[in-house]
Amino acid sequence: MTQPQTAPLLRPDDIRHLVGLARTVTGINLDETRTDFLTGRLGRRLAANGLTNYAEYCRLLTSDMVERVAFGEALTTHTTSFFREKAQYDWLLEEGLAELQGSDRAGGREMVFWSAACSTGQEGYSALMTALVARDNGLRAIEPRLIGTDLSRPVVHRASQAVYSRAETDGIPSELRPRFLLSSKKAADIYRIVPDLRTRSTWRTANLATGQGLDGIAADVVFLRNVLIYFDAEIRQRVIDNVYRRLRTGGILMTGHTEASHARREGLELVRPSIYRKVA
């Protein structure tokens, strides 16, 4: 009878190497005691490369830049939903977008939304929906455009495809569903975002900690939510600086409610909890 294979063990040297490399590649600050997280996320990478232990995998990561990318993708978490932290979208609809439209920045050109850790796209598409509703409500000059960035290639690709299950679209208010969702003709309870929103969107891989992939971004509204909690203080500051430089003066930065205190920086004024304005 064939004996079941045992899972590869993580040695202390392997853990230190992987945790250090995670910080270098992704900026994420991993807890060295959480070996279950590392094995759960990286076990499939060992299998994909035909490796039997983590020492071999560590050696591979020192020489294979393609695998380094896959390593970073395996470690990142992608939790999102439509209209998550809805109070922020309500504020944009009721106050924020009107203030932006009335400023010198937004007049006569596109209003750029940047979903900085976009995951599978729901956050960014929610922002576009909000902007188009605001335009219907009287802000005629709004011409919204969306940039979505994420470290993970698979989630960026999925965001660009804009296809979601019924469960994934539950957060979209019922009055918006007919306007912004198309029902699949081939499968029940599968939806796609309408072309008007898809053509307003661009998606790319980028690293918020290093700034790689962020060239050319100049945003009026940035969503930087539920990502700062994964970094230590040094990397957090680096991420905030990279975002700050790409936020136009007068623009709005939105963070997760649990990480709002991490976004404090000279040049950002608090508008309300988890919402900041760039003043200089």
How does pLDDT run across 216-262, given as a tens digit for each residue?
A: 999 999 999 988 888 888 888 999 999 999 999 999 999 988 776 77
Longest dimension (CA), the chain: 75
Rounded Cα–Cα distance for residues 91 and 250 (Å): 16
pLDDT of residue 108: 53
- Whether 237 maps to a domain, the answer reads yes
pLDDT of residue 1: 44
| CB 239, CB 229: distance < 8 Å | no
How far from chain centre, in Å, is Cα 8? Answer: 31
Give the residue numbers spanning the domain of 64. Answer: 12-75
Residue finishing a domain among 40, 56, 75: 75
| CB 191, CB 164: distance < 8 Å | yes
- From residue 52, alpha-carbon distances to 2, 24, 42, 46, 179 in Å are 18, 24, 12, 7, 51
How does pLDDT run across 165-223, given as a tens digit for each residue?
A: 999 999 999 999 999 999 988 888 899 999 999 999 999 999 999 999 999 999 999 99
In the predicted model, what is the mean pLDDT of residues 139-157? 92
Residues 96 and 70 in one domain: no
Residues 126 and 35 in one domain: no
Minimum mean pLDDT range among 88-102, 112-126, 205-219, 259-273 = 259-273
Q: Give all strands (DSSP E) within 152-246, no chain letters.
A: 163-165, 181-183, 190-193, 201-205, 219-224
Residues 44 and 164 in one domain: no
Rounded Cα–Cα distance for residues 132 and 258 (Å): 28
The vertex-126 CA angle with 268 and 143, nearest 5°, equals 75
Sign of the CA dihedral with 131 first, then 134, 136, and 141 last: negative
Residues 179 and 231 in one domain: yes
User: Per-residue pLDDT for 101 more than 80?
Assistant: yes
How does pLDDT run across 31-53, given as a tens digit for each residue?
A: 888 888 888 888 888 888 998 88
**Rg of the chain, C-alpha, whole Å:** 21
Residues 169 and 260 in one domain: yes
H or E, element range at 270: strand 268-272
